[in-house]
Amino acid sequence: MRIVLGGVRGSSPQSHPDFLRFGGATSCVLVESGSGARIVLDAGTGLNNLLKPLAVPDACLPVLMLFTHYHLDHLIGLPPFAPLYDPAWNVVFAAPIREGITVEAALKRLVGEPFWPALFRASQRFEVLPETADKAPFPYGPFRVRWCAVHHRNGCHAYRIDAPENGESMAFVTDLEWGASNGKERADLLRLCGEPRPVDVLIMEGHGETAQFAGWGHSLWKETVEVAKKAGVRQLVITHHAPDDDDRALLRREQEVQETMPNACLGHEGMQIDWNRGSPIAITVRPV
Ligand SMILES: [Zn+2]
Ligand SMILES: [Zn+2]
């Protein structure tokens, strides 16, 4: 399995030079199998950074785009995403119904007037995922996808992707307030990340250091480490960095994080995470 982080910033993009070491693009993650199956999680401005690795249209297997929720930092890269308007591309947009809104209704609200001058192609496929995938994971090529609802304003889902043939797995957990989550929400997330086996790689938000923004729907990095340890994951990558946290602040935090949990790091824009069944997890930071 290979993961590429297209964007790691939360809430709003940043372009000031003080933010470029970790990156200023917002949430977007690519998960690839060795055979070329591709899942994109969220469509923040980091989607633009993934055009190159996505640039080999595969007529057999569409690119699957999954959405955690529809806050703009997770969506604003979508309207200018060229494959939307190119019939050579085969993309499927999927998500469970969230607060009564389908993925098709949510995305068409943004990609269209008065917010955007172009529309989806009439043939564009949207897939409504069932409320739960506990008993029947969603199949996509070599992958099996599960999800659960997490505590966030306007709703949000965490996703887990398994490659059962290789025994590899990852989870993407962003935009949740662990401190305000109830017992069921906590148990569901720990089950998603920890069963049937702890995921190899957990990419999870750790928006800040203090409870200054309690009630805004985000977790502190110490809570993120707590979740990773409880679930028993092999590697934690903390993402969705607050828009005010510049490189100096994030370097300092990364050191603290690794003192608390050695197999944890902060996500960088362009970070690539590669591993095969049972092999060490290789993490490299380079431009996408
Ligand atoms: Zn967000
Ligand atoms: Zn959000």
**Is the peptide bond preceding residue 57 cis, with omega within 30 degrees of 0?**
no
pLDDT value at residue 60: 75
Q: Which two tokens stand for residue 86?
A: 């190119």
**Segment (H or E) for 253:** helix 247-260
User: Measured between alpha carbons, how far is 17 from 200 in angstroms, rounded to an integer?
Assistant: 33
Amino acid at 67: F
Distance 208 CA to ligand 1 centre (A): 12
User: Which ligand minimizes its atom distance to the CA of 8?
Assistant: 1
Q: What is the pLDDT of residue 202?
A: 98
CA of 217 to the centre of ligand 2 (A): 7
Q: Is the dihedral of CA 22, 23, 27, 32 positive or negative?
A: negative
Q: Residues 6 or more apart from 244 whose CB is under 8 A from it?
A: none
What is the band of 58 on the pLDDT scale with cuts at 50, 70, 90? low
pLDDT band, very low/low/confident/very high, at 10 (cuts 50, 70, 90): very high
What's the pLDDT score for residue 216? 80
Q: Which of 7, 23, 19 is nearest to 72 (CA)?
A: 7
Alpha helix stretches (DSSP H) within the chain? 51-54, 103-110, 183-194, 221-231, 247-260
The per-residue pLDDT for 59 is 58
Other Cβ atoms less than 10 A from the Cβ of 191: the count is 15
Gap between the Cα atoms of 288 and 286, Å rounded: 6
- Residue 5, judged by CB atoms within 10 A of its CB (0-12, 13-18, 19+), counts as buried
pTM here is: 0.96
User: Are residues 32 and 94 in contact, defined by beta-carbon separation less than 8 angstroms?
Assistant: no
Q: Give the Cα separation of 163 and 143 in Å (integer).
A: 5
Neighbours of 193 (CB within 10 A): 24
CB atoms closer than 10 angstroms to residue 154: 12
2-285 has which fold? Answer: Metallo-beta-lactamase; Chain A (3.60.15)
| CA 223–ligand 1 middle distance (angstroms) | 17
pLDDT at residue 207 in the model: 81
- Confirm if 267 and 254 have CB atoms less than 8 A apart: no
Ligand closest to 177 (CA) is 2
* Closest listed ligand to the CA of 71: 2
Ligand with minimal distance to 240 CA: 1
pLDDT at 288 over 60: no
Question: What count of residues does the chain have?
Answer: 288
CA–chain centroid gap for 31, Å, is 9
